[in-house]
Structures are given as C-alpha cells and as structure tokens.
Structure 1
Amino acid sequence: MKIKSSIMKTSILSMGSLLILSLCCERSEGQNKAASNETNTIVQELQKLSLDKYFNIQPSEKKINEINPDWDNYYYNTDDCRCIFGTEYYTAVKHKSEASKNVIFYMQGGGACWPGVDECKTEISSEDVGYVDGLGYVIDGSLNDWNTVFAPYCDGSVHSGDNAADYDNDGEEDHWFWGFRSTSAAVALTKKLYPDVDKMLITGCSAGGYGTIFATMLLRLQYPDTQFYVLNESGPGLQDPADQTTKKLVQETWKYDAFMPDNCAECKDQMMYLYDWMLRYDSNLKIGLYSSYKDEVIGEDYLRMTPDSYSSLLLSTSGKIQAKNPNRFKRFFINGSSHCVESWKYKVKGVNLTQWVEQLVNDDSSWSDLLE
C-alpha cells in the first residue's frame, strides 16, 4: 500500500507538473499572440491612413558631406522632394558602427510658415548636420555609437505638410509644403540602410519636435517590432484652442489633417494627442517630452498666447497623456521661457537631461516624470 501510495503521489505530482507546464506554455503563447496582435493593430491602424504613399521615393545621388565628411548626403530629384521655394533637398547619414543595431532619427527644427507668417527655414546646407554632433546624449552619453539619420528642415510645415500652394493666385504653385514627402523619403532610406534595428530614438527640436509625431507613425510602418523611443524637444504639437482661424488656415495650407485617424477626435484639436493614440496601440513605444513652461518661441512667437495660457495648455494636455500612460510618457519640464535645450547638464530633482535620455533608451526603471 505504501508503494502504491507513493506511486500515486508521484503520478499526481507529475500530472500537476505537466498541467502547470502546459498552463505556463499556454499563457506564454497567449502573451506572445497578444503582443503580436497588438503590433498588428498599430500597423493596421496606420495603414488605414495611407501613410505609405511616398515610400517609393529614392535618392538620386550620394555625396560625402563637404563640410562634415563623417556624413553622407543623399540628394533627391526636386520632382520628389524639395524645400519650400523649390530648392534641392537631402537626407544625411552618419554610419558609426557595423555592430550597432541602434539608430537615432534626428529631425531638424527651424520655424514654421503659412500665409501671413514667413518665419521658417527655407533652405538647407551641408553645415546643418553639425548640430547633431553637438547633442549632449551623443557626446556625453551612451548613444555615441548609434548610427544616425538626419532629416534637414526647409519645408515650413514642421515636416508634416503634403501640399503645394499658390500664394499670389497667378495659377502657378510657388510654395511647396512637402515635409511629409521628405520625412517619408528619409524613413525609406533608413529602412534600406538599416533593415534590422533593435532600438530607435526619434528626436528633434522645435519644428523637429513637432515632426517626430508623424515620423514615429511612418517609421512604425517600416519597423513593426522595433523598440521606439521619442525625445520631443520643445515641439509639443500644440495649437491655440482659442484661435480656430489660424488653425484652419494652417490645415488648408499644409494639408496634414489628411493623416489624422478618424478614431481620435482629440488629435484634430491638438496634434500632441497623436502620441496618446499611438501609445494606445503600440506597446513598443516610449515618449519623453522636454520643454520650459513658458517657451516664448512656441507660446508667444508662433501661437500668440500669453505665457500663462501656454503653460496651462502645455501642462493640461501633457498631463492628460501622462496620467493615461504613466510608464511610457514622461516629461522633463523646466522653469522659464527658453526654447530647446541650452544645457544637457541641467538638472531637475537631481537628474540631468543626458542621464534622463539614457534612462529612457535603456528602459531604466528610474526614468521619471520630472517637473521643476
């Protein structure tokens, strides 16, 4: 009886172990399927927006950057990509390491233009890539071996427009807000040069910060499973809610609203909410937003808001996203009215900005929402 009892116990234990193993396998398989379904969902949602319309654009010529020879410039035919007044456009690439499967996708800033406002960068030069080499997280941080793709800015539409306008009504187009085309071309080139990427940091300042929003959507179509990190530097995707006239004029001039999802009513009010929409579907996405509370360039110069009104809008909009995505959307907000980062060593609650970016891209649990 003791032998039978022992055998029975062993049998029951074995069956229990098999059952636990089976359940674990089923759970693991279910989790994998859920993750796969989630990835498919974000891609499917993006495909509904016809975002891939310019992925066929290819560079016509490659040259070594004459001022910064570590960079290669990829030039495009002006039928495919051009600056706001029709001049030539290029994307630049700095290939740092054959071993690295990590990429920085950097979007240049430089104002914005629409009828009545002409405060934007209208041409690019080989000197423009030099700014990327001075970024604190590249020089002082652990990202100095990441390969880098640079999308210069000269389209006036914060890298997001898809329209050609006739300002003087003479029947001929004279302003090309082709930012969506040039961003798409840069994304397509990135995929061609770096088909297998583990981590990607999508970043930019000012107009480049605004540009990270659509760039993230475009890049996700090309890299369905890559871990994405966004660092938006002083380009929060905000509009003055009280100035619907300017909002309508900008939309009619740039035509960016064609790429807004139907299932995000808030996105049509504030572009920043596209981050929240993406986070809803995309578990492989983390977003960091840097700003001063009263950024005078965005708040006063472009949105024509009072400092207090802008600060209130910035905090309420970003706070809503942060509350819904506490682990994957965080802010580094500082006092004052400065625009873009003036010092990568600036500390909030004992953490400097370079460290904060490193915590973001390394999935460090100490990465925090830091409000000065």
Structure 2
Amino acid sequence: MRKLLLTLLFASLPLALTACGDDEDKTPIDATPESWTWVDVPGTECGNGEQTGIAVNPNEASTDLYLYLQGGGACWDERTCFVLRSASNLTTGYQAAQFQTDSTRNAYMFDRAEPTNPFRDMSYVFVPYCTGDVHGGNAVQTYGTQQVHHKGASNVEAWLPRLVSTFPNVKRVFLAGSSAGAFGAQLNYERVAAAFPTAEVHVLADSGQMVTPAGTLLDTWLTNWGVTIPASCTNCGTDFTRFPAYLADTYPESRFGLLAWSRDGVLSNFFGYSAADFETRTLQLLTASYDGKDNARYFLKRGTQHTFLGSLDTTTSTTGVALEDWVSQWVEGNAAWSNVLEP
C-alpha cells in the first residue's frame, strides 16, 4: 500500500523533485566497513553555492540503515542569514574538513561499542546541514546583496541514488534528525521512502515539533526556501500541525516518533512565541496529530532545553521512562512503545 501511494505521489511531482532521472549518479560508495568515509556528492550545494556531501559508516552484516540529518538553525532573509547568522555553515559551507572536526561523528548514537545503543549494529549515514532551509528547500534567493542557495531537498535528491546503490539489501531505514534535521526528516520522508520502496522507513524527529509559527512566518519559510508540500496534505501549507498527522495517516506501516521539550527555548524563538505560548501549541499538536494514532508517539519533557539525541543514554522522564529504552522500542516496533508526557 505504501509503495502504491508513493508511486502515485511522485509521478505527479516535477522531475527535479523525484528520485528518478537519467542523469543521476548511482555509483556505489566505496567505504571502509565500520569507519567514517566522507563522500563529495556532485549536484549538492551549500548556502554559499559550494558543493557538499555526506559521510557513511557501513556495517556489511546489517540490513538496517540509520540516516541522520544534522541540525543548525535556519534563515529566510538578510537579517536572519547575514546579521544574526542563525543558520550553521551557510556561508562557510561543509566539506570533508568540517566533518573531520565535527563532534557529532563521535556521539553515543554512532558508538558501536555501546551494548545498549539502539543504533549500534546499523550502517550509518551522516547528512550535514549548510542550506538554512531545514533540509527542505529548492530555491536560490538574494537577500540584500548576497545570494543564498536553499538546496536542502535537492541535495537529498542528489545523494539518495548513491545510497540506494551502496545499500541494496536494506530492509529498514531509520530516518532521524535533530532540530533543523528533525523537520528535514519529516519533510523528506516521502523522498526517502520512494527511494527504498521495499524497505520499512521510520522517522524520529528530535526537537522538531511542527507547530504553526506566528504571523506569516510559515508562508515566508515555504516560499523563500522553495519547499514542496504534497498536494494530498490538505492545508499543510497554512497549518503546519497537519503534516505529522498526514504522514501517520497516509503511511500506517511506518512509525513516526517525536522527541520534544515543552518550552524549547530555541524553537520558541524561531517560531515567534513566548515559552508559555510555545508549550501550549506543542501540547495542542500532540493532542491533534499524535494522540490516538497507532504509529505515532511522542516523548515530551517539561523544560526549555533543546534536542535529545546528544544525551540519548542519560535522559529519563520524570515518570521513569529511559529515553534509550523508548528509542529502542521505536526501532523494534515494540508494542510497549507509548507516549511519554511529563506532568
């Protein structure tokens, strides 16, 4: 059923937004097993127009793929991009040298020696963030006197065919991201699922609750970044809360997990709300788009902190649920996987 839905959806999209095309690079990536290898990917662009790539760390014995999208803010005009500089790597780009010094590569979630790490036996892919568009855009904008290449989604289209060739036996894809990467994981679910039509694809959004931002921000973001919202996602372009519900309802065989801080100090600022208002809207999102669904769950902690996966092994809810256990249940499709809501 999911394969049919994705086939119909992507048949109706412009060629540039699909994972198909005669000129795509399908060359398998040559990488040392259980070691990080940086790969430059032609056709990708950072905000400054320079090429970027991805990093892979394969486990040849595994049919599971952990695909992680990096976070790092966002920007949509001259002030946010060049005065506040609220998007990481936008002007510097992100190539092999940046990856070699990126602490994320040594995070617990990528540590194969940790016996309780739910991702320890998988093949890993690290997707850097340098486009300012939560991995969702396909546009080039001029802000003031400087140009920004918002090419997050088109970058996904550039490297996906190579991943398919590199991991032909994948049975389960775990698509995750933190902050900007969490929104990117949700926005790119259908692209990834279409590229791996015979595999399960599950999403874990770390600090990426899709509340509708204040004022006209959502329209500004979608327009300036060139984000394509599926036509079948009714009113998602004006009500962001509909998007996670659309995914869960349309793809019942996939699991959609959300990790959220109730008064996230980073997201509330970006979305234009006070901490209290953001908490109210987050709780409304959980009620409207997650509660009552068999394949969508959340792990919510009260507080103003931001992101969880960096402390995957040390976070526990006040109700006694260890985050590591909760994520393991998401991976396994365990019937015990349930909503966690701190009082």
Q: TM-score, normalised by structure 1?
A: 0.79
Q: CA deviation at 1:260?
A: 1.2
The equivalent residue for 1:216 is: 189
Question: Which amino acid in structure 2 is aligned with residue 294 of structure 1?
Answer: R
Unaligned 5+ runs, structure 1: 1-36
Kindly indicate whether the alpha-carbon contact (under 8 Å) linking 2:229 and 2:236 is maintained by their aligned counterparts in 1: yes
Task: Return the match for 2:296 from 325, 329, 334.
Answer: 329
- Verify the 8 A CA contact 2:108 2:117 in the aligned structure 1: no
Residue aligning to 2:229: 260
Classify 1:72/1:224 alpha carbon distance in 2 versus 1 (closer, same or farther; 3 Å): same
| Partner secondary structure for residue 239 of structure 1 | coil
Comparing 99-108 and 219-228, the one that deviates more: 219-228
- What aligned pairs does 1:15-164 form with structure 2 within 5 A after superposition? 37-50=1-14, 51-52=17-18, 56-58=23-25, 70-77=35-42, 80-95=43-58, 97-115=59-77, 116-118=79-81, 119-121=86-88, 122=90, 123-124=93-94, 125-127=98-100, 130-136=103-109, 138=111, 139=114, 140-164=116-140
Q: Is the 8 A contact 2:41 2:159 kept in 1?
A: no
After superposing the two structures, state which structure 1 stretch, 190-199 or 144-153, moved more.
Answer: 190-199
Contact 2:31-2:56 at 8 Å conserved across structures:
no
Contact 2:28-2:165 within 8 A present in 1 as well: no
Q: How does 1:337-352 map to 2 (within 5 A)?
A: 337-341=304-308, 343-344=311-312, 345-348=314-317, 349-352=319-322
Deviation at 1:251, TM superposition (A): 2.4
2:256 aligned residue: 287
- Normalised TM-score (structure 2): 0.86
Aligned partner (choices 328, 333, 339) of residue 363 of structure 1: 333
The 1:281–1:63 alpha-carbon spacing in structure 2 relative to 1, beyond 3 Å, is closer
- In structure 2, what is the Cα distance between the partners aligned to 1:282 and 1:248? 26
Q: Distance in 2 between matches of 1:285 and 1:99?
A: 23
Is the Cα contact below 8 Å between 1:137 and 1:358 reproduced in 2?
Answer: no
Taking only the aligned residue pairs, the percentage that are identical comes to 21
CA deviations on 1:250-294 (whole Å, 9 max, x unpaired) are 2221110xx212232331124453232222232321011001100
1:247 maps to amino acid: L
One-letter amino acid of the structure 2 residue matched with residue 84 of structure 1: G
Uncovered stretches (5+) of structure 2, i.e. residues with no partner:
none
Q: C-alpha displacement at 1:47, in angstroms? A: 3.2
Shift of 1:150: 1.2
Judged with a 3 Å threshold, the aligned counterparts in structure 2 of structure 1 residues 271 and 132 are, in CA distance, closer, same or farther, namely farther
Partner of 1:318: 286
Contact 1:60–1:76 under 8 Å retained in 2: no
* Structure-2 change in CA distance of 1:270 and 1:57 (3 Å): farther
SS at match of 2:336: coil
355-364 or 340-349: bigger deviation: 340-349
How far apart, in 1, do the equivalents of 2:260 and 2:18 lie? 31
Conserved 8 A contact 2:49-2:149: yes
2:118 and 2:331 in contact (8 A); partners too: no
How many residue pairs get aligned? The number is 321
